[in-house]
Structure 1
């Protein structure tokens, strides 16, 4: 998100919270409350001139705008509480917001619409924090992703191998692949049950890429993320390992521990993947960022090394969790698969060091629902 848009957005949140609180003390039509709503609208309008589509997402106690935290404070914390009280985990402001729409939101957050449910409007879209899971064995309906993921592994295999041969990525069809996965996930909402099986160790990279896409989407959907951003997060997962196509095959499939020289070659793949994606028309910038950062780790103890003060994308950190989980749950040439409960314990142990603490907590919640 454009940094110049953050300050008016923070001011909008502050004045909106103050307006809702003041309405509880006076009345919704009180002069002070009306003034605060007007200031809120002015700040939102200013913000939307910089960013015509702003998504605010709650992760833990933080409120994120375009992956950037609005900083935990009295007003942001109170706004998060107000949204959570209404079951809202995601709010999206679109250019063209009106005073009437903002007044309706403020009244709803303050309980002013008696008996009424808080609803989306044309320029204010609300998303609930809810991921539906069907446990294995419940009902006889066929999982629509079962055949779909197998087909997509084949398509991604061809895409990746074309990169290995020609050193160029053809982006055509990638958005359709991710769009199809999103549709299938919405129909069944069983992300862990939908992960593509690994029939042959030679197809690990391709099945893994589809699975990281699915896991990224599961994380994002559980946070209420939708629309173009959701698709970009899926594409980032699908292409996160594209740089491995520049690594010699004998290193990728080596059953023994890599030598120091081989590790040096392997560690280049984030740079090579990011460069490949940046040079490919039609690939979201977010995918290149995730390809570069997904091995960096939350505490920057991974690779590649970056200058002090570097700020990782939350999508990269989301991809890192997905990558770690699927790598452990899949049997590979040099390691056996690990049980879900053991992986959950490893994630919990590394939370705050290797993995973003709040994103890890959200992922563990998804895991716990699947293992219950």
Structure 2
């Protein structure tokens, strides 16, 4: 990934110089040549380079990037020109690279429309079709069979692992990773709609544990954004473990039917810190899981808990988890209330978009939900 970020640095430098000098200037030519040569070598070795913009987050070849000023500037540069997806393909020409440099060097709206070519593709983030093809026999039968298998095997194992934590034994992360890998493989075999449909069902027979539902919904969101490989699995593991800090909260508080007292709510608010602290000491736990456990109640505008500084940058996995977590929490029957209807939840979450929830991810989430509903 270091090679990809270096390409982005060169592209920004070449564009900045092209904005200052004419196309024949020595510095512009030198940077343009260096960009073309390094990009060509990288594409020949790796096959392609894909950059996706979600708000000001960059996903490079399926991997969300840590925040940095230059990556943030590049994301802003692309968005200002209406580019959410940029793909470089092997065989790219000097003319195509020069055209991109010119497009990015011009003031937003003055460089012409971003037009795809043979080896350079522009686009907006589009979610995959998630319904089953017409006439498919997968549908209801597959949902029933697959969920029964998951219920009997994966979720029993998951529950036992949580019980071990409650007994203050050390969590075995390999078991959690195997559950997540099973979910990812099912998505690949059956398509996104199968497990998302499972998480949307309100029939008790198909109800997953909350953490498994959040895992399913996070994987669906991440796959729709083009995230794959180990990063996808880490996002799934983070979702499975996001609420682990609640195991350190007294059960009588978690299951209380009436309103919590201020003191009880303060105990609840400690569970992100407790969960992150616990996971930090477990060998093999992805760093992303620790972060998501700590941040998943922080809210998009940082008004949640724990208290974070105004400059804090939330991880993409935490944003995904907030969306999935709120959806499943309101969709699921709780000791103190009945589940809400889907239309009501949709209205609530879209109202929260941009304040408590990530606006782009929330809209994308409901595109997935709508696709599942239409395809079933």
Contact between 1:10 and 1:70, CA under 8 Å: does it hold in 2? Answer: no
Matching residue within 316, 319, 322 for 1:320: 322
Which residue of structure 2 aligns with residue 147 of structure 1? 148
Runs (5+) with no aligned partner, structure 1: 47-53, 93-98, 119-126
Matched, 1:223 2:225: yes
Q: Provide the C-alpha distance between the structure 1 equivalents of 2:9 and 2:217, rounded to a whole number of angstroms.
A: 35
Paired residues for 1:135-284 under 5 Å: 139-141=136-138, 142-143=142-143, 145-150=146-151, 151-188=153-190, 189-190=192-193, 191-195=195-199, 207-284=209-286
Q: Provide the C-alpha distance between the structure 1 equivalents of 2:240 and 2:82, rounded to a whole number of angstroms.
A: 32
1:39/1:242 CA distance change after superposition, 3 Å: same
Matching residue within 282, 294, 297 for 1:295: 297
CA displacement at 1:161 relative to structure 2: 0.9
Partner of 1:58, secondary structure, is strand
1:182/1:360 CA distance change after superposition, 3 Å: same
Matching residue within 119, 134, 139 for 2:131: 134
Aligned residues between the structures: 333
CA displacement at 1:38 relative to structure 2: 1.8
Matched, 1:66 2:65: yes
CA displacement at 1:333 relative to structure 2: 1.0
Task: List per-residue Cα deviations over 1:334-357 (Å, max 9, x = no partner).
Answer: 111112121111111001110111
Contact between 2:300 and 2:358, CA under 8 Å: does it hold in 1? Answer: yes
Paired residues for 1:337-348 under 5 Å: 337-348=339-350
CA displacement at 1:140 relative to structure 2: 2.4
Partner of 2:53, secondary structure, is strand
CA displacement at 1:262 relative to structure 2: 1.4
Contact between 2:245 and 2:276, CA under 8 Å: does it hold in 1? Answer: yes
Task: List per-residue Cα deviations over 1:285-333 (Å, max 9, x = no partner).
Answer: 0000000000010111111112342111121011011100001111111
Give TM-score, length-normalised by structure 1: 0.74
Q: Provide the C-alpha distance between the structure 2 equivalents of 1:325 and 1:261, rounded to a whole number of angstroms.
A: 26
Greater RCO between the two (CA within 8 Å, min separation 6)?
2
Q: What RMSD, in angstroms, separates the aligned Cα atoms of the two structures?
A: 4.2
Contact between 1:37 and 1:102, CA under 8 Å: does it hold in 2? Answer: no
Contact between 2:130 and 2:371, CA under 8 Å: does it hold in 1? Answer: yes
CA displacement at 1:18 relative to structure 2: 8.9
CA displacement at 1:145 relative to structure 2: 3.9
Q: Provide the C-alpha distance between the structure 1 equivalents of 2:36 and 2:176, rounded to a whole number of angstroms.
A: 40
Partner of 2:259, secondary structure, is coil
Q: Provide the C-alpha distance between the structure 2 equivalents of 1:111 and 1:221, rounded to a whole number of angstroms.
A: 24
CA displacement at 1:40 relative to structure 2: 5.5
Q: Provide the C-alpha distance between the structure 2 equivalents of 1:192 and 1:341, rounded to a whole number of angstroms.
A: 17
Contact between 2:52 and 2:85, CA under 8 Å: does it hold in 1? Answer: no
Give TM-score, length-normalised by structure 2: 0.74
Contact between 1:247 and 1:266, CA under 8 Å: does it hold in 2? Answer: yes
Contact between 2:218 and 2:236, CA under 8 Å: does it hold in 1? Answer: yes
CA displacement at 1:239 relative to structure 2: 0.6
Q: Provide the C-alpha distance between the structure 2 equivalents of 1:257 and 1:74, rounded to a whole number of angstroms.
A: 44
Which residue of structure 2 aligns with residue 36 of structure 1? 32
Contact between 1:169 and 1:276, CA under 8 Å: does it hold in 2? Answer: no
Q: Provide the C-alpha distance between the structure 1 equivalents of 2:235 and 2:212, rounded to a whole number of angstroms.
A: 12
Q: Provide the C-alpha distance between the structure 2 equivalents of 1:149 and 1:250, rounded to a whole number of angstroms.
A: 29
Segment drifting more, 293-302 vs 138-147: 138-147
Contact between 1:14 and 1:75, CA under 8 Å: does it hold in 2? Answer: no
Which residue of structure 2 aligns with residue 14 of structure 1? 12
Contact between 2:242 and 2:293, CA under 8 Å: does it hold in 1? Answer: yes
Partner of 2:197, secondary structure, is coil
Contact between 2:52 and 2:84, CA under 8 Å: does it hold in 1? Answer: no
Partner of 2:199, secondary structure, is coil
Which residue of structure 2 aligns with residue 305 of structure 1? 307
